[in-house]
Structure 1
């Protein structure tokens, strides 16, 4: 297949970031309303979310009809983020990026690392700042002015004020901000207690699939349009500077395999973690794009230069990891559990596995399905298995399939919810206990209080099909359950994870199993995806 290299080619990419002054300012409501309003105009909208959140991308996907993407420069790298954004936004009329927490809130209180501001600067995207103006007038101008001056390089292009008491209140706030800040207030949302986004709970995915949240999305669009100048927002979106593209694009495909430079480009970054207070986890229904693209060493080296990587040669070596196997090479099958119980997957992880040569086969344990017969590996993502524990416990085909996979040394990777299902039992919040796969000698107990939340740097404690001892993947941890092992002193831990509160050993790695609470991003080290797929091939050879 012929490819064409597109180097330093300016591309018009209308785009906006919807940021907030803090969590709860209303950025999700504005984002969903804007996406819906733009779609109603007949525009093709591509959604993105800053940070590791799974829930907001699910909303985006439901509104736009296409998978939303996470942009996280700490878990991956600035170059990776830029290329992911370019790749996903190509061919669409406008891209809308929803921020995380407050505009400048991130991993490090002394820098923009891990913040919405960092993503805005990497992608050169105009920012629309959402400000909650309850019980204030001219003070709103002081807030916006402070946000403008904290990072002069950031383009805060406009403001939307939320929770105004009346049209008169809006007029006062608008005049004050525009006088002092020199940017337009493009609209307002009235104070409306009924406009809150529903609780992020187990019912979100089924509710979206049944179309039950469509009235909410429509209401958000109606409220936004009632007081917002949509034409001005589009003008601000088109004011974004052209994006310079440096990637290899195959003829007939819009996908580009993302490269990663996280561990050489970000050596100056700290390993402390951020407690993300508002963005919890939920499903991201991933697309099933067949990735047929190739990345070469020259491209990866140039991307490394963009990220200020000193050791570009090391990064270039990773290019070989993205080149597909020869046609006569066996394409192993990775069975991916995906339904309302198992649905936390980064699209990048799935695509990197495909890029490494795997074929993904989706199945639903909740629908009574077992492990696909052709599987050479199993991928159990996170989700809410505790809310479907009775159904999972009753699917003996699925549970016995997991046990047989473990006995036959099939590579089995499980994260968070998937990790829980590998335990002996799972006890829900009501105290009901259900039998699980029994592969990991432990019991899982749901807690009322959150057990863990934040970024993680996961270093392999031992060699596995995913990582060599000491190799690192970056990711995120969030859960309300506790895993209690029968013999605490003899746990074959998978990772040593580093976070805000120090380091700890977690997870389970024994035989062909790698499991843990950490949701890893394979983009932080694509070699892990390559190694995983190679072990799948070895497994198939041993079964022959």
Structure 2
């Protein structure tokens, strides 16, 4: 499911399709092109299956094909939601990272969603442009969003099918009774959307009524094949490496396949909640604090002093701690909300995290390590993505990376390293950065507990 541009309704339509197909009793495997966390969480609720990110900027074509085959093997249908516009990818790198590139890597048919509002015959010109821009993209049908009446639908169908020979697979009328709440980073995460199930029921009914699902399934059966099967990576450790991973409403930005890769290498994940748990899981050898929306839960996070003390003690003992974005904010000495209230953090990063009123970081980045750390030696270059409204101030030294790409000057500093602590704004996908994953788990495996010499990177 591709779109002509961002905001055209891809996610809403994808969720409605997933819910409708599930109600039909079909086992549907969802995917999302690119680095988005929120949409995959919504997919999971709609489909009843974990959604995976297919990212052709961070990962190789072989890695994407392998991931797709692995998770689609037991499903009856796979549904991939695109990112931005069909041909939009990493800035200045052509098709790299785009929906079009992933579609070609997987040889999948593409359905184009476009906004029909205010369009008549011009709809055919619009779709023709997308169809002919890259003839290697297998565009098999279109869906019109925002049609005004049945007469409007009939006219759109006449020009799309009559002049282009492409099937109009459906036309969605505006329905103010269905809403998907949003905040600064996109739609509201599934964990926080109390009305999501009711919205999905309405979306499923709307899609059944206004989309030709049978024709869509028939077109999906024309997908190409590729003879690539890659086995899972065998564990590189003799015993399981126990890893505490934060997960709750405040911290839930994780690539599922990134966690799967850590498990394949030998990690045993123990979940904990910075919002609700007063202690870290017992007998862990490392901590992973992912991103999310800690700024929405600052009073509760700050009030959980017992867990903050546990994390500080673990750091003092030399336990490896890796934190991304929201995790970096949580480890700072202070966190300033948008309303300028100040809350204490864990105090492991000697800086203030300050929420802004506009984007401070966005886009794919290459991150080069400045010093030896739990992720690897100085000079190791990793690929990731940043998307944040907060910024760090008063950090004097100890920066972790120089970043190239995204917003801001190339070779700008990012993050913080101190002994076995590494905190950064960059979100990493570990399968696409295998050396970093192995180095992190190796550091965790070497941790022996209180009283031992665990600060090996000091």
Scaled by the length of structure 1, what TM-score is found? 0.80
Matches within 5 A, 1:159-170: 159-170=142-153
Deviation string 1:156-186 (CA, Å, 9 cap, x unpaired) is 0111111111111011111101122221111
Alignment partner of 1:36 out of 5, 19, 28 = 19
Aligned position for 1:206: 191
Q: Give the match's secondary structure for 1:204.
A: coil
Aligned position for 1:49: 32
1:370 CA drift (Å): 1.7
1:534 CA drift (Å): 1.4
> Structure 1's 110 and 497: CA in aligned 2 closer, same or farther, altered over 3 A?
closer
Alignment partner of 1:324 out of 228, 235, 253 = 235
Aligned position for 2:404: 498
Distance in 2 between the 1:494 and 1:341 partners?
24
Alignment partner of 2:355 out of 446, 466, 482 = 446
1:543 CA drift (Å): 5.8
Contact kept? 1:376, 1:411, Cα under 8 Å:
yes
Distance in 2 between the 1:376 and 1:397 partners?
19
Aligned position for 2:156: 173
Aligned position for 2:62: 79
Distance in 2 between the 1:75 and 1:198 partners?
29
Aligned position for 2:456: none
Structure 1, unmatched stretches of 5+, are: 1-17, 249-256, 258-321
Matched residue pairs, number? 448
Aligned position for 2:84: 101
Contact kept? 1:163, 1:192, Cα under 8 Å:
no
Is 1:465 paired with 2:450?
no
Contact kept? 1:47, 1:60, Cα under 8 Å:
yes
- Runs of 4+ in structure 1 off by over 6 angstroms are none
Contact kept? 1:108, 1:114, Cα under 8 Å:
no
Q: Give the match's secondary structure for 1:420.
A: helix
- Over the residues paired in the alignment, what is the CA RMSD in angstroms? 1.7
Matches within 5 A, 1:181-330: 181-200=164-183, 204-208=189-193, 210=194, 212-248=195-231, 257=232, 322-325=233-236, 329-330=238-239
Contact kept? 1:447, 1:482, Cα under 8 Å:
yes
Contact kept? 2:190, 2:196, Cα under 8 Å:
no
Contact kept? 2:243, 2:267, Cα under 8 Å:
yes
1:542 CA drift (Å): 8.0
Contact kept? 2:2, 2:110, Cα under 8 Å:
yes
Distance in 2 between the 1:72 and 1:82 partners?
11
Matches within 5 A, 1:470-481: 470-481=379-390
Distance in 1 between the 2:189 and 2:253 partners?
13
Aligned position for 2:119: 136
Distance in 2 between the 1:534 and 1:420 partners?
25
> Structure 1's 495 and 155: CA in aligned 2 closer, same or farther, altered over 3 A?
same
Scaled by the length of structure 2, what TM-score is found? 0.94
Distance in 1 between the 2:255 and 2:175 partners?
33
Aligned position for 2:290: 381
1:465 CA drift (Å): 1.4
Distance in 1 between the 2:424 and 2:109 partners?
38
Aligned position for 2:324: 415
Q: Give the match's secondary structure for 1:173.
A: helix
Matches within 5 A, 1:341-356: 341-356=250-265
Q: Give the match's secondary structure for 1:336.
A: strand
Aligned position for 1:266: none
Distance in 1 between the 2:373 and 2:412 partners?
19
1:118 CA drift (Å): 0.5
1:116 CA drift (Å): 0.4
Distance in 2 between the 1:367 and 1:452 partners?
29
Q: Give the match's secondary structure for 1:101.
A: coil
Contact kept? 2:147, 2:153, Cα under 8 Å:
yes
Distance in 2 between the 1:420 and 1:37 partners?
39
Aligned position for 1:456: 365
Q: Give the match's secondary structure for 1:206.
A: coil
